Amino acid sequence: MRIPILVLALLCSAAVSAHTPVCLCELNGNRLDCEGGFHDGSGAVDVTMRVIAYGGETLVTGKLDDASRFSTPLPGQPFYILMDVGPGEVFEVDWRDIVGIDGQRFETTEAGDVVVPQMANR
């Protein structure tokens, strides 16, 4: 009886680890383009995406489309993107980790706290 339970446990753990959410975002002009999916290479159609300001306010909510993509205008304040697959299954992308966004886009204090967006020629 122990062997079937062990096999079942191993199969279940492999299935769970194969569905770890992943997301890559990049800046194209003034739009953020993200592609989501799972660690095993499968797509993530209809997964909820939220663009959230550092203060906690949700700026944009959407879903990954049939190609597992999400696009939204670039916010004018510091933000992160939350890919929410379900309870305990989330993936966050901070604005500093988005390909194409200048790391100096928002002013920061010496402690690293964001204070005011820089709007000059961006």
Confidence class of residue 104 from pLDDT cuts 50, 70 and 90?
Answer: confident
Q: What is the dihedral of CA 85, 89, 93, 94, to 10 degrees?
A: 120
Confidence class of residue 59 from pLDDT cuts 50, 70 and 90?
Answer: very high
The proportion of the chain whose per-residue pLDDT surpasses 90, expressed as a percent, equals 62
Distance CA 98, CA 81 (A): 10
Render 73-98 in DSSP notation, one character per residue: EPPSS-EEEEEEEETTEEEEEEGGGS
Distance CA 67, CA 45 (A): 7
Express each pLDDT in 19-30 by its tens digit.
799 999 999 999
Domains and CATH numbers, the chain: 20-100 (2.60.40)
Residue 56 pLDDT > 80:
yes
Phi, psi of 52 (to 5 degrees): -125, 130
